[in-house]
Chain A
Amino acid sequence: MMDVARLAGVSHQTVSRVLNEHPNVREQTRLRVRAAIAELGYRPNRAARTLVTGRSQVIGMVTQNSALYGPASLLSAFEETAEAAGFAVNVRSVRSLDRYTLTEAVGRHLDHRVAGLVIIAPVASANDALEQLPANVPLVLIDGDPDGSSALVTVDQEAGARYATDCLLEAGHPTVWHISGPPDWFDSRGRVQGWEGALRDAGRDVPPLVTADWSAAAGYRTGRLLARMPEVTAIFTANDHLALGLLRALHEHGRRVPDDVSIVGFDDVPEAAYYTPPLTTVRPDFAAVAAASLELLLAQIESGVPSGDRRTIAPTLIRRDSVAPPPAATA
């Protein structure tokens, strides 16, 4: 450290401040110290340091390795929010959220003395593992089990599905079909509940549920069946990729959207505005989810007491061109 101070032309104390990420160091000075560290190959040894302080300003995240839009956006939004608040975020990306894998990932985070844990836990299979986690660690789940006991922040899936379904009913459709996501995802379950609830509240028939996964391929596959059924005039899909595959299937069968069939998606992926036709969909507020998650986590870190607080963040319906009244019943 003396060498670093000498090379950077600063005091011993300044080097220490930079290493401790003290806020009151000028950017230029910080850079000079960092450069000196790089030149000397000196690694500020966080492992040794946390042995002394017992606490770091790192938040440990666990997420399932996924290129899916929802989880990827939640992860990215949380990283951004936490970093803006001065935390570093370390992400353990796991193959699946089973008991063994999750326990190990969390264990590694705890070994590094993270200040708190945030786990994106969208599938029911994670429940078993989550029960095994130590109770005294600040923890917030994102998109986890609404019936669990941990602190939780979720998109209000049920409300989003109601907006979508009501929007189609208001356009005059007698009922709405639903292509759902995989059954073990809480997102899927919440959206199915909202869809069913909206239909029942309006006194409409609930058509059989069409179960798929999150892919355009599944939307296409199920869409080829629905396209052959003339009584199907309105479909709510559990995400936008499913809607894209469905649009393709309807196009191939000569059924026009929205003239013959209306569609509402979920997610508002950046491409949804450029589908043929531009998609009416439900937009979750990932930034608000991230902000609420950090807030709940900080409250636990500060109080030292775990909580079961929960927040649900309302999504917004984005109206574009894929919804119209049903075709006039021609004999």
Chain B
Amino acid sequence: MTVERPATDEGAPPDPGGTAGPPRGTIMRDVAKLAGVSHQTVSRVLNGHPHVRPETRLRVLEAMRSLNYRRNLTARTLATRRSHTLGIIGFETTLFGPASLLYGIEHAAREAGYLVSVVTVRELDRRPVLAAMDRLAQHAVDGIIAIAPKAAITTALAQAPPGLCRVAVGGAGEADGTPAVRIDNALGARLATRHLLDLGHATVHHVAGPADWPEAAERVRGWRATLDDAGAPVPPVDPRWWNAKSGYERGRLLACDPAVTAIFCANDRIALGVLRALHETGRSVPADVSVVGFDDMPDSGYFVPPLTTVRQDFTELGRRSIALLLGQMRGDPAHAGGGDRADRVVVAPELVVRGSTAGPPPR
């Protein structure tokens, strides 16, 4: 079934679009002439070389179109195994974190002169991730970045075909030998919890994200460690999904307990639900209860009241993950993976103080 053919345009079968071409040399000459550029420039455009001015690329592409010629990438890919395309494996791309991460990575990839091909997986099982990786590999991507909020993704990434560069971004980055970029979630949780303790609260309650997401677990760890360090009591946690509904349900219970004066939420959507529950119960924020989120969504500054939260820099995460991948692709040993520290990038989050936090109410 898989028939290897010579990797030349002459060897390719007729294009289904009816644009089968004459030999490559002739075409290149005609395109160059029509576009008013050198033969070498045409070749650069065909090979997706990053250092061609957009106007020039457009001129060449238009010349190709007017000559009714479309370069046969399928054939070319066989020859060079390079497509100047990076593959991204996405997951839960309607959640704010993964969506913003995807946006940040895509942006950084294009800044670096690469095209982006995205495959989304629906279940975080090893198998769909392997299938996604397979598909991207078949499209001859130069490297793969996976948004990896759960360990199953990094486990699957470790099984990438040899020679295919890869980077995991997100919570489960530390799971094995795959080069990884992530936010310091425990630090973010410490900043949030410390801020509330410094305001004078006796302790801080936490509405946690799903227990099988490492970033949720890391936030629990940072929160608990900060309370332990301060000798403050550690209230129980009841992990929930990353949405406003979870925050609302958990918030209704917390709101009934007058001892609760400070709540740190695992993300901003959970915090929105908590704010709603407190409002309905007649507990004022921040006069009666202080609330801190995590993420800093564009909406969060417009909550009632504007939310104090922990900001993740998704642009920086995107930039660092592309840098790590390109380093690997250049064969830079420091980025090759295998457990040393250079291929473990950890980005620090920062606390953004707005109107949802204050000292505890006077007793």
A16-B1, A52-B13 given; name 10 further pairs at CB < 8 Å. A45-B2, A48-B5, A51-B78, A55-B16, A65-B107, A79-B120, A91-B119, A92-B118, A103-B65, A247-B302
Do A1 and B2 touch across chains, with their CB atoms under 8 A apart? yes
Residues of A within 8 A of B24 (CB): none
Residues of A within 8 A of B120 (CB): 76, 79, 89, 91
Do A46 and B302 touch across chains, with their CB atoms under 8 A apart? no
Do A49 and B115 touch across chains, with their CB atoms under 8 A apart? no
Given known contacts A76-B120, A108-B115, A274-B276, A100 and B78 CB-to-CB distance under 8 angstroms:
no
- Contact digits for B297-309, partner A, Cβ 8 Å, 1 yes 0 no: 0110111101000
Complex: chain A residue closest to B107, CB-CB: A65
Given known contacts A34-B130, A65-B107, A276-B304, A88 and B135 CB-to-CB distance under 8 angstroms:
yes
Do A51 and B122 touch across chains, with their CB atoms under 8 A apart? no
Residues of A within 8 A of B72 (CB): 111
Do A108 and B70 touch across chains, with their CB atoms under 8 A apart? no
Contact partner of B74 (CB less than 8 A), chosen from A51, A132, A248, is A51
Do A51 and B5 touch across chains, with their CB atoms under 8 A apart? yes
Residues of A within 8 A of B75 (CB): 51
A137 at the interface (CB under 8 A from B): yes
Q: How many residues of B contact A (CB 8 A)?
A: 71
Do A110 and B139 touch across chains, with their CB atoms under 8 A apart? no
Residues of B within 8 A of A69 (CB): 94
Do B244 and A274 touch across chains, with their CB atoms under 8 A apart? yes
A152 CB, min distance to chain B CBs, angstroms: 22
> In the complex, A118 Cα to B355 Cα: how many Å?
44
Do B299 and A244 touch across chains, with their CB atoms under 8 A apart? yes
Do B61 and A93 touch across chains, with their CB atoms under 8 A apart? no
> In the complex, A71 Cα to B13 Cα: how many Å?
37
B259 at the interface (CB under 8 A from A): no
Residues of B within 8 A of A104 (CB): 57, 61, 115
> In the complex, A275 Cα to B276 Cα: how many Å?
7
B110 CB, min distance to chain A CBs, angstroms: 6
Complex: chain B residue closest to A214, CB-CB: B298
A74 CB, min distance to chain B CBs, angstroms: 11
> In the complex, A325 Cα to B98 Cα: how many Å?
41
Q: Which 3 A-B pairs have the closest CB atoms?
A: A111-B73, A46-B138, A274-B244
Q: Which of B235-267 contact A (CB under 8 A)?
A: 243-245, 247-248
Do B54 and A48 touch across chains, with their CB atoms under 8 A apart? no
Do A92 and B18 touch across chains, with their CB atoms under 8 A apart? no
B117 at the interface (CB under 8 A from A): yes
Residues of A within 8 A of B311 (CB): none
Given known contacts A76-B94, A248-B306, A276-B275, A90 and B12 CB-to-CB distance under 8 angstroms:
no
B127 CB, min distance to chain A CBs, angstroms: 7
What are some 19 contacts across the A-B interface (CB < 8 A)? Answer: A44-B134, A48-B3, A48-B5, A51-B3, A51-B75, A52-B13, A54-B13, A90-B118, A90-B135, A107-B61, A108-B85, A111-B71, A111-B73, A112-B73, A215-B298, A248-B303, A271-B269, A273-B244, A274-B273
Contact partner of A276 (CB less than 8 A), chosen from B85, B135, B279, is B279
A11 at the interface (CB under 8 A from B): no
Do A65 and B16 touch across chains, with their CB atoms under 8 A apart? no
Do B65 and A41 touch across chains, with their CB atoms under 8 A apart? no
Q: How many residues of A contact B (CB 8 A)?
A: 72
B159 at the interface (CB under 8 A from A): yes
Q: Which of B282-310 contact A (CB under 8 A)?
A: 298-299, 301-304, 306
Q: Which of B145-170 contact A (CB under 8 A)?
A: 159, 161-162
Residues of B within 8 A of A48 (CB): 2-5, 78
A19 at the interface (CB under 8 A from B): yes
Do B93 and A72 touch across chains, with their CB atoms under 8 A apart? yes
B22 at the interface (CB under 8 A from A): no
A53 CB, min distance to chain B CBs, angstroms: 9
B272 at the interface (CB under 8 A from A): yes
- Contact digits for B65-98, partner A, Cβ 8 Å, 1 yes 0 no: 1000011111101100000010000000110100
A289 at the interface (CB under 8 A from B): no
Complex: chain A residue closest to B131, CB-CB: A34
Given known contacts A111-B74, A274-B244, A247 and B119 CB-to-CB distance under 8 angstroms:
no
A127 at the interface (CB under 8 A from B): no
Do B18 and A274 touch across chains, with their CB atoms under 8 A apart? no
Which of A48, A113, A137 gathers the greatest number of chain B CB atoms within 10 Å? A48
A139 CB, min distance to chain B CBs, angstroms: 12
Residues of A within 8 A of B12 (CB): 51
Residues of A within 8 A of B70 (CB): 107, 110-111
Do B57 and A136 touch across chains, with their CB atoms under 8 A apart? no
A219 at the interface (CB under 8 A from B): yes
B234 at the interface (CB under 8 A from A): no
Given known contacts A136-B18, A276-B275, A47 and B1 CB-to-CB distance under 8 angstroms:
no
B252 CB, min distance to chain A CBs, angstroms: 12
B175 at the interface (CB under 8 A from A): no
Contact partner of A100 (CB less than 8 A), chosen from B1, B58, B73, B162, is B58
- Contact digits for A1-33, partner B, Cβ 8 Å, 1 yes 0 no: 100000000000000100110000000000100
> In the complex, A89 Cα to B127 Cα: how many Å?
17
A303 CB, min distance to chain B CBs, angstroms: 15
Do A72 and B99 touch across chains, with their CB atoms under 8 A apart? yes
Do B299 and A271 touch across chains, with their CB atoms under 8 A apart? yes
A38 at the interface (CB under 8 A from B): yes
Do A219 and B5 touch across chains, with their CB atoms under 8 A apart? no
Do A219 and B122 touch across chains, with their CB atoms under 8 A apart? no
